[in-house]
Structure 1
Amino acid sequence: MLNTFQQASHPVLPTATADEHARQEFAKSFKGFIQSSLLPGLFPVYGGRVSKAFEKAHGRAPQDRRDIRTGMVDDLYFQHYAAANRIAQELLWESVNVSVDRQLPELNAKAAELSAATKAQLVIPEGFEPPRYVTALDIHCMPGGYCSEVCENDISVGALYDRGVFLYAMGYTGPDNDDMGRSVVNYLKRRMPDFQPRRILDMGCTVGHSTLPYKELFPEAEVWGIDVGGPVVRYAHARAAGMGLEVNFAQMNAEETTFPNGHFDLVVSHILLHETSGKAMPKIFAEAHRLLAPGGLMIHADLPPFDLMDPFTQFILDNETWYNNEPFWGAMRDMDQIDLAERAGFDRATVKFDTAPMAVMEFAAAAEGYSQEASEAVADREFTAGEFAPGGGWEVLIARKADAQAKAA
């Protein structure tokens, strides 16, 4: 049986020596320990002493995540949790970097070979400048971020991301790291079985983890993945080829692409929005609307906005903003995304949030012989913490562009 908690190999995934693998597994297990053992301790710490101390000091109970943070940051237990979380994050990247650095010439050569052999396009424009909100810091503490290049035709940060994200997610994104895309694909297959897009765009695709399931579900479709990082789209192109799929990739900014009006029937993203900015998000929604053909769908998969969470869960998740180099993490969840979609041109009546059950959880439920209803029920699990630990389902923002007949009416 497929082991969903071991990463599947492919030709450009860095391999690890026994010692490197042991360090990587320790990093993954350390994160698991923090989630399962340290994180739950925050609840009694807050309820038992921090909230009471805050009320005594301020004459009122904590009202929101900011109040909770004000009380928690001076607590020794929280400091222990936050420090351990940051150490685990840095450790996992370093444990993978050793493998990447050791094999980089071979990985670059293999990627070039695979890219040359596929018919799928790879577009890397000269003089492209990634936006500063991506280059100003190493997002989620990944050394080099998405855009750093150490040699010509470099794919090193793509290789680092591919293996590092699997460790960060503790295996919960599945053997191909593709759970977000696969979950949305399953959602479409179940809820919109007649939807057959001819062209699909994945905005902010990084190394194409979530892009490839769309090509699997819609094999006749023209599929593109775009990202502002040159090394990650080079890696994505080679990875797709190595996995036997012809998917096009390009270095482009989702705020302003070079595709013509109405070119796509489906525009998607997966945990992109919180890595952009307050100025970029409206442009991305507007660009998705421009790119969609009449009747086309925009779907952004991420964690829910804060108004769908209780204040303490907001506080837990907002630690990504403070300790994991995700400066727009919290701010993005405060924005009214339905209003943004309406201002971009989508009919408000077609815009909604929904939950796409995690594909890896559905797989596990099916393997145990559970019913479809029980399989979908995994989406009711509580959120925990981190970018890839959403409980049982991914929150999806869905909007449909008006078709020509609706506009005429």
Structure 2
Amino acid sequence: MLNTFQQADHGVLPEATPEEAARQEFVKSLKHFIQQGILPGLGPVYRTRAAKRFEKEAGRAPADRHDIRKAMVPDTYFQHYAAVNRISQELLWDSVIDSIDREGDALIERTAAATAANAGELRIAEGFEVPRYVSSLDIHCMPGGYVGRPGHDDLRLGALYDRGVFLYAMGYTGPDNDDMGRSVCHYIKARLKGFSPKRILDLGCTVGHSTLPYKELFPEAEVWGVDVGGPMVRFAHARAGAMGLDVNFAQMNAEKVDFPDGHFDLVVSHILLHETSGKAMPQIFRECHRLLAPGGYMIHADLPPFDLMDPFTQFILDNETYYNNEPFWGAMRELDQVKLARDAGFPAETIRFDTAPMAVMMFAQSEAAGYSAEASESVAERDFVAGEFAPGGGWEVLIAQKQD
């Protein structure tokens, strides 16, 4: 699908000059060229060159994504791909920082006004301890990561993420940058018929991209987004206000959420799990079970597990682990998430993986914002293709229901 989406203004988005906008559009186009023009060449390079070299040296064919990496890393074509991909990521943040620095206090003032417009609660914890798997590196190579540095904890980091992640996704997150949350909402509407949660929690919400669609779908519900990054939830609260939605945000750790047992009917996350750790994930699943009321659902949306892909596609996606400061990216997909959910207390018969088709793909295919089971199945049946923003045109969702 040719992406024609541009990010919609919402009042606290950094305002780019024509020159800054051109740089940002160049980076987005560069990322698209890498995916469409360079990445497809990796397959032939592997089959005709790298795999044969590996087999000659090792005396056997490559067995898994790790062997494929060993075969590919020495190849100059792969080195070129990896280098330009990393450079595009660093250029991405640089292009947005220019706009934020130029706006300075004006952006802060707009954000403060938007914060006041959100009647939802905002909780920032004093002396909050950020997990090391978040604070020890700049995730996605974003300067400051999700939490910033001591003495530099302000709203501008949220603005950087808001614009930057749209460019990273090459616009495939849609005009409101919310495709993942909107896709899961469409899935709930189509597949969990009659389910109408009164309290909803979004774990690892960053700036609330995926949180807001739940307030749109369930306007009477009490919606909370929590994240370990203070700058993220501050900006998320302002962003919601700028978009006319009253949503609550808090600085909390998904491993230990400050709400009572059984408080929520729906607990969700969107590309959170691969940014945690092997110790954190089981605890997050247990916390989801604790927080849910009987009959409530846990839904975690991410990219598909590796066992649903061929080893070469695994290798392509695993480049995030090595070149984009995502150390748990690959390891998370090797964990048995169904077992983790079962061990957390969810009945085995309620646990399953499914595909929530991307809302922007549905829009492009149907020329409408609707959702149908037939269209869902047509997207879900597609094969995973290395280089797609969401392989197969859909987000993989792990679903479990707490026993009544």
**AA partner of residue 206 (structure 2):** T
Q: Residue 291 of structure 1: CA displacement? A: 0.1
Matched residues in 1 for 2:277 and 2:182: separation?
A: 26
Q: Residue 152 of structure 1: CA displacement? A: 7.5
Structure 1, residues 95-125: CA drift from partner, whole Å, max 9, x if none? 0011111113122222222212322000001
Matched residues in 1 for 2:403 and 2:202: separation?
A: 20
SS at match of 1:334: coil
SS at match of 1:126: coil
Determine the structure 1 residue equivalent to 2:396.
395
Q: Residue 384 of structure 1: CA displacement? A: 4.4
Determine the structure 2 residue equivalent to 1:86.
86
Matched residues in 1 for 2:369 and 2:293: separation?
A: 40
Q: 1:146 to 1:274 in 2, by over 3 A?
A: same
Matched residues in 2 for 1:367 and 1:73: separation?
A: 42
Structure 1, residues 53-96: CA drift from partner, whole Å, max 9, x if none? 11111111110000000100000100010001000010011100
**AA partner of residue 116 (structure 2):** A
Q: 1:154 to 1:301 in 2, by over 3 A?
A: same
**Could you tell me whether the CA contact under 8 Å between 1:4 and 1:174 is conserved in 2?**
no
Determine the structure 1 residue equivalent to 2:356.
356
Q: Please report the TM-score for the alignment, with normalisation by the length of structure 1.
A: 0.95
Q: 1:175 to 1:133 in 2, by over 3 A?
A: same
Matched residues in 2 for 1:298 and 1:169: separation?
A: 25
The runs of at least 4 aligned residues of structure 1 exceeding 2 Å deviation read 149-153, 368-376, 378-391
Matched residues in 2 for 1:369 and 1:180: separation?
A: 14
Structure 1, residues 320-377: CA drift from partner, whole Å, max 9, x if none? 0000000000000000000000111111111000000100011111118999434642
Matched residues in 1 for 2:179 and 2:286: separation?
A: 27
**AA partner of residue 297 (structure 2):** L
**AA partner of residue 122 (structure 1):** L
Matched residues in 2 for 1:316 and 1:264: separation?
A: 37
Deviates more, 1:383-392 or 1:173-182: 383-392
Q: Does 1:214 align with 2:228?
A: no
Aligned residues: 401
Structure 1, residues 237-288: CA drift from partner, whole Å, max 9, x if none? 0000110000000000000011000000000000000000101001100000
Matched residues in 1 for 2:224 and 2:309: separation?
A: 33
SS at match of 1:391: helix
Structure 1 gap ranges (5+):
404-409
**AA partner of residue 225 (structure 2):** G
CA RMSD of aligned residues (A): 1.8
**Could you tell me whether the CA contact under 8 Å between 1:357 and 1:393 is conserved in 2?**
yes
**Could you tell me whether the CA contact under 8 Å between 1:54 and 1:61 is conserved in 2?**
yes
Determine the structure 2 residue equivalent to 1:242.
242
Deviates more, 1:233-242 or 1:144-153: 144-153
**Could you tell me whether the CA contact under 8 Å between 1:267 and 1:299 is conserved in 2?**
yes
Determine the structure 2 residue equivalent to 1:406.
none
Deviates more, 1:258-267 or 1:54-63: 54-63
Q: Please report the TM-score for the alignment, with normalisation by the length of structure 2.
A: 0.96
Percent sequence identity is 72
**Could you tell me whether the CA contact under 8 Å between 1:149 and 1:156 is conserved in 2?**
no
Matched residues in 1 for 2:93 and 2:392: separation?
A: 24
Structure 2 gap ranges (5+):
none
Q: Residue 4 of structure 1: CA displacement? A: 5.6
Matched residues in 2 for 1:175 and 1:382: separation?
A: 26
Deviates more, 1:302-311 or 1:388-397: 388-397
1:179-328 matches, within 5 Å, as: 179-328=179-328
